[in-house]
Amino acid sequence: MNFKFTSRSIDDTLLLAENIESEKFPGMVICLNGELGSGKTVFVKGFAAALGVDGNITSPTFTIVKEYNSGELPLNHMDVYRIEDNEDFGVEDYFNSDGICIIEWAELIEARLPEERLDITFKILDENTRVLVFSPHGEKYEELCNAVL
């Protein structure tokens, strides 16, 4: 079952991310998909702020992974846009940790993703409006969507 949320502003996306963070758990994996400028990094900023992460959150396009350890749980923010399908960067190690992984452009490494995860696809409607489609994989993620959406 998919869930939909319409964001009419950056503040809506930030608040949604904060609400999802309130349902966090160790080992959580959130996969973000959508075109450039659709709000993926804005979502990560809201999630990280609610988690208590210090510092400026930017997309790790050239570093691939940014690790933040100043929040309630470790946050591993990935941007796999520049990853070749067969390139090994240890992504599975992050999935097997007690931290939270949020992956931008996750569809590019779909074969490597854990079976249980939350996929969120961002669709641009206009300058300010986005539709976010949530696809939970696994019971914990379905419960999260039911609680928040």
Domain extents in the chain: 3-148
Task: Return the CATH architecture of domain 3-148.
Answer: 3-Layer(aba) Sandwich (3.40)
Phi, psi of 114 (to 5 degrees): -65, 155
Phi, psi of 113 (to 5 degrees): -70, 150
User: Percentage helix, strand, coil, to 5, in the chain?
Assistant: 30, 30, 40
Q: What is the pLDDT of residues 19-53, one digit of tens each?
A: 999 999 999 999 999 999 999 999 999 999 999 99
Q: Among the listed ranges 20-24, 78-82, 84-88, 128-132, which one has the minimum average pLDDT value? A: 84-88
Query: Across residues 110-126, what is the average pLDDT?
Result: 96
Query: How far, in Å, CA of 49 to CA of 71, rounded?
Result: 9
pLDDT given for residue 114 in this prediction: 96
65: pLDDT strictly greater than 70: yes
Q: What is the CA radius of gyration of the chain?
A: 14
